[in-house]
């Protein structure tokens, strides 16, 4: 694979910045990212991160750069929250206003613009995204929502100051396009709390390569609930870096694959300091020649004593034509910790199917009941009934529609 695509060049980067009326510091970061993108080779399956995912189907020459009107729809921000200093806008508007908060957080600690091939591409050409800022001790009861209706390069920044809290819902639901990158940087200040709900429901001809990464300060908490249903190849990283004592991260995820889809999910909790905790729990279902690789990593640094962390990763294959792999990993550089993991891959239990059929159910209804029970612990983590009901419906339609 080559980088040949006349729509992507350093001049295109500068034109994009000029059209968005961006400051010089951001132009410099974009150009730096593009140069890194040009230098780096495309990843291959010789690299451990890409061992289970091939790019042979991906053609960079088909990738388009969407510019012009924003493709993200945001829920309305109540006036009382504006008066308290809450910012919830598309990132291009925040950049155009030259908000100093954007410069303080964009491409600083959570996501480096030169860290790999796809991140560099996104950093050079991102043309949409969300900027959410919640000031100190502001607690938002309503859910703030962002819906991206076109696959493209998106980069979002979410910042919670000390004692802040918010529920955030992000959805990707493109019916067309080729490449999607929905990168998100999250900064959780001391004693803040973020509920991050994420749905990926892209069309089945889209390639999705996304990174979502959070940095947590002392006593901060983040709850990730994510559901990946669409895309031809969906490769996403969802990571929490616990940098403050008392920080806690939870990840509860669902993925469903069919029709030759491939899901590549990487979840990580990194314990960088003492007295932190984390839980990762993932459930996947595959059918009709779908494949998946789900890798969970619990990383405990040398300074991470008194860590309590748990990883649970399970997948079910419906029929004989799908293939799932789960790889739990623990990297522990400190003995004074509690770290556990569990993993399983298999078919639906035929004894359970037989029992339910013997009670008068059809095989399809029996199988659906088992699948519902398999996913129920994940759905129970979604605190917003409207979102929970919608995701349950989408999953059922994906599997049995």
Report in angstroms the alpha-carbon separations of 208 from 37, 202, 290: 17, 8, 16
Report in angstroms the alpha-carbon separations of 141 from 63, 86, 138, 166, 381: 39, 13, 10, 7, 17
pLDDT in tens, 172-184: 988 778 999 999 9
Q: What is the pLDDT of residue 99?
A: 79
For residues 74 and 130, the answer to whether their CB atoms sit within 8 Å is: yes
- Inter-residue long-range contacts of 28-33, CB under 8 Å, 24+ positions, other chains counted: 29/106, 29/107, 29/113, 29/123, 30/113, 30/123, 30/124, 30/125, 31/124, 32/113, 32/114, 33/113, 33/114, 33/119, 33/120, 33/121, 33/123, 33/124
Q: What is the pLDDT of residue 333?
A: 94
pLDDT at 231 over 80: yes
d(CA 227, CA 218): 28
Q: What is the pLDDT of residue 5?
A: 84
**Cβ within 8 Å of residue 335, ≥6 positions away:** none
d(CA 167, CA 145): 9
pLDDT at 67 over 80: no
Q: What is the pLDDT of residue 68?
A: 72
Mean pLDDT of 389-398: 90
> Please, what is the Cα angle at 294 between 197 and 376, to 5 degrees?
50
pLDDT in tens, 4-23: 787 899 999 999 998 888 99
Q: What is the pLDDT of residue 59?
A: 93
Q: What is the pLDDT of residue 353?
A: 80
Q: Can you spell out the DSSP letters for 253-272?
A: EEEEE-TT-EEEEEEEEEE-
Q: What is the pLDDT of residue 4?
A: 76
343 CB-side CA count, 13 A: 14
Q: What is the pLDDT of residue 174?
A: 83
Structure tokens at 104: 């303080």
Per cent of the chain over pLDDT 90 is: 76
pLDDT in tens, 88-124: 999 999 998 877 999 999 999 999 999 999 999 999 9
Q: What is the pLDDT of residue 292?
A: 97
Q: How confident is the model at residue 269 (pLDDT cuts 50, 70, 90)?
A: very high
Residue corresponding to tokens 């030259």? 98
Q: How confident is the model at residue 51 (pLDDT cuts 50, 70, 90)?
A: very high
Mean pLDDT of the chain: 93
d(CA 223, CA 198): 11
Q: Which of 57-66, 72-81, 310-319, 346-355 has the lowest mean pLDDT?
A: 346-355
Q: What is the pLDDT of residue 225?
A: 96
Mean pLDDT of 71-81: 93
pLDDT in tens, 121-169: 999 999 999 999 999 999 999 999 999 987 789 999 999 999 999 999 9
Q: How confident is the model at residue 361 (pLDDT cuts 50, 70, 90)?
A: confident
Strands (E), 149-247: 153-160, 165-172, 179-188, 193-200, 207-216, 221-228, 233-242
Q: Positive or negative CA dihedral for 2, 228, 315, 205?
A: negative
Q: What is the pLDDT of residue 372?
A: 83
Radius of gyration of the chain (CA): 21
**H helix or E strand, kind and range, residue 105:** helix 100-105
Residue 292's φ and ψ, nearest 5 degrees, are -155, 155
d(CA 305, CA 272): 9
Q: What is the pLDDT of residue 24?
A: 93
β-bridge mates for residue 264, sequence order:
235, 293
């Amino acid at each position: 694979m080559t980088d040949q695509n006349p729509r992507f060049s350093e001049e295109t980067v500068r034109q994009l910045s000029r059209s968005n009326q961006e400051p010089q510091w951001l132009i410099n970061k974009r150009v730096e990212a593009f140069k890194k993108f040009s230098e780096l080779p495309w990843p291959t399956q010789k690299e451990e991160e890409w061992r289970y995912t091939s790019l042979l189907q991906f053609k960079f020459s088909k990738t388009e750069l969407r510019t012009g009107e924003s493709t993200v729809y945001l829920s309305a921000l109540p006036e009382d929250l504006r008066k308290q200093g809450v910012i919830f806008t598309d990132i291009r508007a925040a950049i155009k206003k030259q908000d100093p908060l954007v410069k303080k957080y964009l491409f600083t600690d959570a996501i480096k613009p030169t860290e790999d091939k796809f991140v560099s591409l996104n950093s050079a050409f991102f043309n949409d995204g969300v900027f959410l800022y919640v000031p100190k001790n502001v607690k938002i009861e309503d859910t703030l929502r962002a819906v991206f209706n076109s696959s493209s390069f998106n980069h979002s920044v979410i910042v919670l100051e000390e004692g802040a809290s918010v529920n955030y819902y992000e959805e990707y639901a493109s019916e067309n396009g080729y490449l999607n990158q929905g990168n998100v940087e999250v900064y959780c200040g001391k004693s803040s709390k973020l509920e991050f709900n994420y749905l990926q429901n892209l069309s089945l001809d889209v390639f999705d390569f996304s990174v979502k990464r959070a940095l947590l300060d002392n006593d901060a908490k983040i709850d990730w609930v994510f559901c990946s249903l669409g895309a031809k190849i969906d490769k996403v990283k969802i990571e929490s870096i616990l940098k403050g004592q008392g920080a806690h991260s939870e990840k509860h995820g669902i993925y469903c694959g069919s029709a030759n889809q491939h899901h590549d999910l990487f979840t990580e909790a990194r314990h960088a300091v003492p007295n932190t905790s984390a839980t990762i729990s993932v459930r996947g279902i595959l059918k009709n020649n779908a494949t998946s690789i789900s890798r969970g990593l619990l990383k405990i640094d040398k300074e991470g004593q008194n860590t309590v962390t748990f990883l649970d990763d399970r997948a079910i294959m419906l029929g004989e034509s799908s293939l799932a792999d789960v790889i739990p990993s623990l990297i522990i550089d400190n003995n004074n910790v509690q770290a556990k993991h569990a993993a399983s891959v298999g078919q639906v239990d035929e004894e359970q199917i037989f029992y339910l059929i013997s009670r008068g159910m059809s095989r399809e209804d029996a199988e659906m009941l088992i699948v519902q029970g398999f996913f129920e612990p994940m759905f129970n983590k979604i605190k917003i009934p409207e979102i929970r009901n919608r995701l349950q419906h989408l999953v059922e339609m994906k599997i049995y529609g």
